């Protein structure tokens, strides 16, 4: 009984972790395999980087900001800490 309870607890803790991490490493593995088998050219890395920086990441940030409720984004302590840290770094 205790073993079953322990296995359920462990699986309930690791399932969300695997659902998040597994796709990331699968993409890394797919990119590595595509490059090693010459399915992607030598300029693919820089072009994919440009796609992510100029299109995908801004779209993701816009989507997150547009769908997140204001009370989740309203974190004055975080904003103050970030502002002080950024100000200290650049001054």
pLDDT digits (tens, 9 = 90+) for 10-57: 667 777 777 888 888 998 999 889 888 988 887 888 898 899 999 999
pLDDT greater at residue 29 or residue 3: 29
Three-state SS for 88?
helix
Residues 70 and 36 in one domain: no
Label residue 87 by pLDDT band (50, 70, 90).
very high
Label residue 90 by pLDDT band (50, 70, 90).
confident
The per-residue pLDDT for 3 is 62
The per-residue pLDDT for 91 is 73
Three-state SS for 41?
coil
Residues 35 and 53 in one domain: no
Residues 54 and 89 in one domain: yes
Residues 82 and 67 in one domain: yes
Residues 36 and 49 in one domain: no
Residues 36 and 60 in one domain: no
Residues 23 and 60 in one domain: no
């Amino acid at each position: 009984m205790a073993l079953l309870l322990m296995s359920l607890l462990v699986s309930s803790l690791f399932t969300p972790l695997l659902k998040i991490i597994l796709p990331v490493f699968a993409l890394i593995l797919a990119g590595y395999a595509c490059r090693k088998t010459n399915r992607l050219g030598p300029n693919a890395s820089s072009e994919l980087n440009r796609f992510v920086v100029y299109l995908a990441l801004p779209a993701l940030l816009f989507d997150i900001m547009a769908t997140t409720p204001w009370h989740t984004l309203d974190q004055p302590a975080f904003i103050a800490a970030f502002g002080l840290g950024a100000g200290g770094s650049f001054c």
